Chain A
Amino acid sequence: MTTTSSVEQVPGVAHRLARSEGTGRVRRPRSTAGAGMYRPWWMPVLWIAPTVIVIAAFGVFPFLNTIALSFTNATPLGGGGDWVGFANYERLLTDDNFWRATRNSIVYALVAVPLLVVLPLMMAQLVYKYLPGIGFFRTAFYAPVVASMVAVALVWQNLLNERGPINTALDRFGVVDSPVPFLSNPTLLLLSAIALTVWKGLGWYMIFYLAALANVPRELYEAAELDGAGTVRQFIHVTVPGVRLTMLLIAIMSGIGSLRVFTEIYVLGGATGGPGGQVQTLPFYIRDTALDPIAGNAGYGAAVSVALFLLTIGLAVMSHKFGAKEES
């Protein structure tokens, strides 16, 4: 870091005095709150430059570029790239595979979000108050979050296979006569992938609720208890309103997460995305259409990407509206 020496040589007070002389280029801090020394003027630039470059080049530019690409016939290996107007978007409208992927992604979010909003809250409630050994439970509940997705998807593949423990248990208790085709029936495969996403996400969202529960005033519980409210009614009338904002946040986060699913489908459903690609999600379809080195069509994939982005924004706005309505 080249800035080190030049800054360190100047003792604090002298530095402050130097600044008051005014060197033209040196800008004053608007407030003195911990602002510290203000020299040399380019120091902030050096400290933030790498971050600005990476975020701009790989966080913001790709989005603009995606929009531009969606009007071209570019290929992933750099060929094409001619302007084709709205052709890619016209193709979207009549592309059954695109609509199937969109439907799968929306179903994914509609099933996963309510589960991920409610179940982690109940888990947080369960581990919030102290009991001997509660730290162990908190850590253990978080375990699936840190385990890698490919690895846990392989675990679930075993659990859900035709002779796996889940089918064995269902059979033993006489729930089903023949094994449930969790991994070969498209609908069940989609639900199995959702179950995997939810299972892995429980601990993650539980943490958010734990932080939120700490902000619910204790007096409210005491008052509710005095009024004779039991555990369930305390949960509905004190806890839920107390963590409403967190619920909204988690609805948005888990909704976006559901629209981003790829690995679960790839591991449970195979490289095709379920039998005949019937369980493909939007990210899956984007990778399939756009990034295949031989047949890939980056322009069309970019149009699908824009659709995915709009869906994400739509979902966030919808959750927000829903949350705002609940509020009033």
Chain B
Amino acid sequence: MTWWHARGRQRAVVVRYVLLLLVLAISVGPLLWQLSSSLKGTQEALFGSEATFLPQDPSIAAYRTVFEQVPMTQYIRNSLIMCALTIGSQIVFPTLAGYMLSRRHWRGRSGFYSLLIVSMMFPFESIMVSLYMQIREMGLDNTFVGVWLPGAIAAVNVLIMRATFAAVPDEIDDAAMLDGAGEWRRFVRLYLPAAKGSLVVVVINSFIAAWDDFLWPFIVLRSEGLYTLSLGLARLAASSLSFDPRVIMAGSIIAIVPIMVLFVAVQRYFFKGVESGAIK
């Protein structure tokens, strides 16, 4: 390799790092700015030309205030309940249905497959009027179950599990069968472990969806005692006149942090699952 080549390559690497840092500033910068502003003392400027990026007089007063003046703990608890319900149903039912769809032949299988595909054609927003009326007629208006039920089983997760199970080699299945493992046993011991990566993707996506969801809970839930964190935050922001901006910033950071921690903890599986095609 000549000197010229080496230099060209080094230059390319430097350019790439510069671009990476630029994109990093755009994607994470706003979140860091919010975090840093929420930690500023009450005497510090948040906005305007005298505002600094880092807090000069760090204080967690805003976090204390948001927990004291807003039922933050309740919002968080409600969000966690929604997440638990959603993750539970999104793991159990798509796995069972995905297995039946990929490993078994039965009459109506292709009909079931078509049902899944067709159901994905309708954007939620174009059917939410009917959904709300259905939920209300079932007496589930203003309940967690009413929020959870319509999105309890996502067709896309069934398709993800179907693709995952289809990738299990037939030989392994046959061997387990010859060893006398019954269907349920093979399902639990063989297929579920093989689907670990996809399950992580399903769990993360369900968690994010339930934690972030706004429009549907906003339609169904009216009692403030049932508000999830997203609803609580929107309400907090709508009454912003009476709150220090730091308090709203603290609230939004509280909504962002748990999901970030979870994501960073499992991102290794997540990217692996995604790249192996689980997302398609």
Contact = CB atoms under 8 A, between A and B. Distances in A.
Interface of A: 1, 3-4, 7-13, 15-16, 27, 29-31, 33-38, 43-44, 47-48, 50-52, 54-63, 65-66, 69, 74, 76-78, 123, 126-127, 131, 137-152, 154-159, 161, 163-165, 168, 171-172, 199, 202-203, 207-208, 210-211, 214, 231, 256, 259-260, 262-263, 266-267, 270-271, 282-283, 286-287, 290-291, 298, 301-302, 305-306, 308-309, 312-313
A126 B16 CA distance: 7
B149 A291 contact: no
B184 A147 contact: no
A195 B245 CA distance: 22
B256 A152 contact: yes
Contacts of B118: 59-60
A192 B50 CA distance: 24
Contacts of B31: 143-144, 147, 152, 155
Given A154-B248, A164-B47, A159 B233 contact: no
A154 B249 contact: yes
Contact of A256 (B123, B128, B252): B123
B55 interface: no
Given A44-B104, A66-B127, A36 B27 contact: no
Contacts of B54: none
A78 B133 contact: yes
27 contacts: A15-B182, A30-B105, A34-B173, A35-B104, A44-B106, A52-B115, A54-B93, A55-B119, A57-B134, A59-B118, A60-B122, A62-B127, A62-B131, A63-B130, A66-B129, A126-B23, A131-B17, A137-B24, A143-B27, A143-B28, A144-B31, A146-B259, A147-B31, A155-B252, A202-B27, A291-B128, A291-B129
B183 A152 contact: no
Interface of B: 12-13, 16-17, 19-20, 23-24, 26-28, 30-31, 33-34, 37, 46-49, 51, 93-94, 96-97, 99-101, 103-107, 112, 115-116, 118-134, 136-137, 149-153, 155, 158, 168, 170, 173-174, 176-186, 204, 208, 211-212, 214-215, 219, 229-230, 233-234, 237-238, 245, 248-249, 251-253, 255-256, 259-260, 263-264, 267, 271, 274-275, 277, 279-280
Contacts of A286: 125-126, 128-129
Instruction: Rank and list the top 5 A-B pairs by shortest CB-CB distance, nearest first.
Output: A59-B119, A163-B47, A62-B127, A283-B125, A151-B252
Contact of B103 (A4, A34, A172): A34
Majority SS of interface residues in chain B? Answer: helix
Given A210-B275, A271-B238, A131 B13 contact: yes
Q: Could you tell me the dominant secondary structure of chain A's interface residues?
A: helix
A152 B32 CA distance: 11
B153 A298 contact: no
B134 A60 contact: no
A76 B136 contact: yes
Contacts of B174: 34
- With a 10 A CB-CB cut-off, give which of A1, A57, A147, A267 has the most chain B CB atoms: A147
A21 to B, nearest CB: 18
Query: Which of B129, B168, B238, B253 is packed against the most chain A CB atoms within 10 Å?
Result: B129
Given A36-B183, A50-B153, A158-B249, 7 more contacts: A1-B184, A35-B103, A127-B20, A145-B208, A150-B233, A305-B130, A309-B122
Contact of B133 (A52, A76, A267): A76
A260 B125 contact: yes
Contact of A139 (B121, B178, B208, B264): B264
A128 B20 CA distance: 11
Contacts of B170: 33-34
Contacts of B204: 146
B221 to A, nearest CB: 13
Quick one: which of A34, A58, A203 has the most chain B CB within 10 A?
A34
Interface centre among A51, A202, A214 (most CB of B within 10 A): A51
Best-buried of B13, B26, B27, B233 by chain A (most CB within 10 Å): B27
B177 A37 contact: yes
